[in-house]
Structure 1
Amino acid sequence: MAKNRPHPGEPKRPRAAAVQPTPVPVAPSKPQIEPAAGLAGLGALRAALKGDAERRERDRAAAAVAQREASADADLFRREIGAVAPLVVPPRVPPARTPPSPVPTQTKLDEEAVLHEAISDEFDPEVLLETDETLSYCRPGVSQEVVRKLRRGAWIVQAQLDLHGMRREEAREALAEFIRESVKRGLRCLRVIHGKGLGSVGKEPVLKGKVRAWLVQKEEVIAFCQARAHDGGAGAVLVLLQPGAQVAHPKP
């Protein structure tokens, strides 16, 4: 194996990068006099220095003229305007915006609907009720067979409302809301428990007649009758609603 050559199993060493000399900044040189130039070189240097001095003098003169002109213009502007005073302006305060109160549109609609569907205590249902002991009711245009089927249990009771312990105003509002929600749910047969009046003064069923008077005034009610014994008997009433909210008074 030749000398000064690396062994084949020895890892290769990276070659050192060539070092470049860092350039040294050179300051601008003044006019130099060549030694061999003699008097001629000295004259050229004197001329160069004189030209440089004249150029600096011209620059200073031009700057002084510009400053004098600017000062004169400012003095002329102040003389033309005269004495001035700053405007007295009160501090600006952004006006407080009071947002308009929200309009309870849905609440108004609900209240109008309640007023439209309001039921009165002054209505006398006796003129519309059948004269039997159950005081059944059938809306005009609906067959009496509907009441008979309702009494026999042809329709399954789908929801009920218990008015026990309620005052008259509370019972009226509860009944109106109960019928309204039942119509929304598409129910047909309801049971309203008004009680037999055993706990009232005089043992008279105060709500019994009121419930019937209220039911007669509801357009959604097409028939009602006293419940059967196992459904509450004389203390409850079965109510039949018209099928579908958009149908006026169809025969079932």
Structure 2
Amino acid sequence: MAGDHSDRMHRLLGHGVKPLKQDRVRPYRKPLDPTPAQRLLDEQRVMDELLEESDESASYESGDELKFLRSGYSSRLLKKLRRGDYAIQDELDLHGLIVSDAKRETHAFINQCALEKVSAVRIVHGKGRNSAGRMPVLKNMLIGWLSKNQHVVAVVSTPANDGGTGAVYVLLGTTRRATAR
């Protein structure tokens, strides 16, 4: 190949063709980094704000079961979610984590699932039998964390065969809004 190019050049030079000087202009700036810097900064800011909140004892628990439904969605979503009408596409297990790590893991997991267009997940939080106090710590905080995450549409405790009150199903915002009835 290199020989073909030099042979061609010699023929052209023999016909009075002069090679041009190869002055290439360099770009005036470096190419942009493809990392979505602003999105990463926004996610970090949200994580920092969530970790700083002091209202950690708030619980959306009613009895042993956890339930949450974002305003503007039909209550039928909770029933369908609890019944298992949505295929669970991923799972997070919080057993053994301290509160700050569990909170960080929960939000990172939900945000990653939303990014990957996952619509339903299961989060195992445990029943709190090993909590230092009498009340289950993670269980009581998890529903608050999830309700503050913009991607979460609904949360409900799982049926007994899938963890019962020691786990929740979470429906993410990939579902269509329905009118509340």
TM-score in same-fold range (> 0.5): yes
In 1, are the aligned partners of 2:66 and 2:165 still within 8 Å (CA)? no
Pick aligned residue for 1:173 from 104, 111, 114: 104
Q: Does 1:222 align with 2:149?
A: no
Higher strand share: 2
Provide the C-alpha distance between the structure 2 equivalents of 1:172 and 1:213, rounded to a whole number of angstroms.
Answer: 10
Equivalent AA in structure 1 for residue 120 of structure 2: C
Match of 1:238 in 2: 169
Q: Does 1:122 align with 2:55?
A: yes
In 1, are the aligned partners of 2:66 and 2:168 still within 8 Å (CA)? no
Q: Displacement, 1:124?
A: 6.5
The alpha-carbon distance between structure 1 residues 108 and 145, as it changes in their structure 2 partners (threshold 3 A), is: closer
Q: Does 1:164 align with 2:164?
A: no
The alpha-carbon distance between structure 1 residues 199 and 132, as it changes in their structure 2 partners (threshold 3 A), is: closer
Match of 1:199 in 2: 130
Match of 1:251 in 2: 178
Q: TM-score, normalised by structure 2?
A: 0.69
In 1, are the aligned partners of 2:120 and 2:169 still within 8 Å (CA)? yes
Cα displacement string for residues 170-214 of structure 1 (whole angstroms, at most 9, x for unaligned residues): 011100110111011110111111111112224531100111110
Q: Which runs of 5+ in 2 are unaligned?
A: 1-32
Q: Displacement, 1:251?
A: 2.7
Which region of structure 1 is more displaced relative to structure 2, 234-243 or 197-206?
197-206
Equivalent AA in structure 2 for residue 224 of structure 1: V
Equivalenced residue count is 143
The alpha-carbon distance between structure 1 residues 109 and 137, as it changes in their structure 2 partners (threshold 3 A), is: closer
| C-alpha RMSD over aligned residues | 2.5
In 2, are the aligned partners of 1:224 and 1:238 still within 8 Å (CA)? yes
Provide the C-alpha distance between the structure 1 equivalents of 2:42 and 2:150, rounded to a whole number of angstroms.
Answer: 16
Aligned-partner SS, 2:169: strand
Q: Displacement, 1:114?
A: 2.1
Larger radius of gyration: 1
Aligned-partner SS, 1:136: strand
Aligned-partner SS, 1:171: helix
In 1, are the aligned partners of 2:61 and 2:140 still within 8 Å (CA)? no
Query: Greater RCO between the two (CA within 8 Å, min separation 6)?
Result: 2
4+ residue runs of structure 1 moved beyond 3 angstroms?
105-109, 123-126, 129-133
Equivalent AA in structure 2 for residue 250 of structure 1: R
